[in-house]
Amino acid sequence: AQTVTQSQPEMSVQEAETVTLSCTYDTSESDYYLFWYKQPPSRQMILVIRQEAYKQQNATENRFSVNFQKAAKSFSLKISDSQLGDAAMYFCAYRGPSGTYKYIFGTGTRLKVLA
Amino acid sequence: NAGVTQTPKFRVLKTGQSMTLLCAQDMNHEYMYWYRQDPGMGLRLIHYSVGEGTTAKGEVPDGYNVSRLKKQNFLLGLESAAPSQTSVYFCASSYRVSPYEQYFGPGTRLTVT
C-alpha cells in the first residue's frame, strides 16, 4: 500500500528566509501525482503546487518550488522569501495513476514564520 | 463560482443522534470525496464517488454512509453518532482527468458529546 511520510511535525523560518519541508512516499507505481496543500488557521485547504511523476522538471509556482527525486521517492517543498502569510500546516499528498481514485495524505508539517 | 461548499460549518450532536452533511460543487467535477481530519493524523478518506449514483469505501468508512444522487452533491450521513466521530470533515472534488488536483470545501467541525 502507498504511504506518505512527513517527518517534520513543526518547522520555523525567519521572515524573508528560505525553508524546505520534507516528504517521502512509497509506491510501486511509475505514474502518479504529488501535491502540496496549505492549510492556514482558517482551515481551508489550498493547493500550493503539483508534480506529475512523468515530468522530470521540478514544478515551480512563484516563491514555491519542489525538489522531486523519483528514484529516492522524495518530494520536498521549498519556500523562498518566506512571508508571515506562509504560516500554516502543509500537507503532502500522493495520488496514483489513471484508474485509481484515492489520495494519500501525510500527517502534515506546521510552519511558523518568525518576524 | 462558489467552488465546493459544505453545510453546516459547525454542529454539536449527542451520542446516538443522526445527521447529514451536505457537500455541493459547481465545477462539474466527476469525483467527490469525504475526509475526516484529526490532530496528528492528516486527512483520512471516509468514502468517495466517481460519478452520479456510485459510491465506494475509503480508509475509515465504519459508522458513515454516503449518497450521490446528483452529480453536484455528495451527502455524508452519520446514523448513530459516537464521540469517536468528533472531528473536522472535509469534502473535496476533482476532475476525472489529469492532473487530478482536488478542490476542498471549508470543512465542518462536528462535536459528539
A14 touches A82 (CB < 8 A): yes
B40: distance to nearest CA of chain A, Å?
A: 6
Q: What is the pLDDT of residue A93?
A: 96
Q: What is the pLDDT of residue A56?
A: 86
Residues of A in contact with B51 (CB under 8 A): none
Average pLDDT over residues B8-30: 96
| Residue contact B56–A44, C-beta within 8 A | no
The C-alpha cell at A103 is 489520495
> Which pLDDT tens digit goes with each residue over A40-75?
998 999 999 999 999 989 999 999 999 999 999 999
> Which pLDDT tens digit goes with each residue over B65-99?
999 999 999 999 999 999 999 999 999 999 888 77
* Cα-based distances in Å from A97 to A35, B25, B52, B92: 14, 24, 22, 18
Q: What is the pLDDT of residue B96?
A: 82
Q: What is the pLDDT of residue B98?
A: 75
Residue A8 near chain B (CB below 8 Å): no
| Residue contact A43–B45, C-beta within 8 A | no
Q: What is the pLDDT of residue B61?
A: 96
User: What Rg value do the Cα atoms of chain A yield, rounded?
Assistant: 14
Residue A84 near chain B (CB below 8 Å): no
Q: What is the mean pLDDT of chain B?
A: 94
Residue A47 near chain B (CB below 8 Å): yes
Q: What is the pLDDT of residue A91?
A: 97
Least Cα distance to B85 among B110, B59, B55 occurs for B110
Q: What is the mean pLDDT of chain A?
A: 95
Three-class SS of residue B87?
strand
| Residue contact B99–A50, C-beta within 8 A | yes
Least Cα distance to A19 among A81, A72, A69 occurs for A81
Residue A38 near chain B (CB below 8 Å): no
Of A43, A106, A108, the CB nearest to B107: A43
Flag whether pLDDT at B1 surpasses 80: no
d(CA A61, CA A74): 19
d(CA B91, CA B13): 20
Flag whether pLDDT at A83 surpasses 90: yes
How many CB atoms neighbour CB A13 within 10 A? Answer: 19
